[in-house]
Amino acid sequence: MGATISNLLMAASQGFPPRPTFSVEQIPDLTERVALVTGDNSGIGYETCKRLLEHNARVYLAARSKEKADAAITSLKAETEKQSSSS
């Protein structure tokens, strides 16, 4: 019985891993590094682009809609004062 409870607890702990300890502040300087981000016009992709630009990466955006990509580039440029490109 003890082994069964132990196995259940171990399975439960693996199903709910601890929170990550990595933060945005720990991103190193990315000067001369290139990143390609897809789905950049909203959500996680947009925030990823923003953080990469803030840490001096050269960022290329890939999106299905050129209009949305251009809007994201304009917004990112205003927020970070850094240049990004779309494809």
For 29-87, the pLDDT digits (tens) are 999 999 999 887 888 999 999 999 999 999 998 888 899 989 999 999 999 887 655 55
What tokens appear for 56 in the block?
């001096």
- Say whether pLDDT at 25 is over 90: no
Written as one letter, the residue type at 84 is: S
The whole-number average pLDDT for the span 10-21 is 76
* Number of neighbouring beta carbons within 10 Å of residue 49: 27
Range of the domain at 81: 29-87
**Which amino acid does the sequence have at 37?**
V
Number of structural domains (the chain) is: 1
Tell me what pLDDT residue 81 has: 83
Residue 70, Cα to own-chain centre: how many angstroms? 19
Q: What is the pTM of this model?
A: 0.69
3-state secondary structure (DSSP) of residue 62: strand
In a domain, 47, yes or no: yes
pLDDT at 15: 74
The reply to whether 65 falls in a domain is: yes
Distance CA 11, CA 7 (A): 6
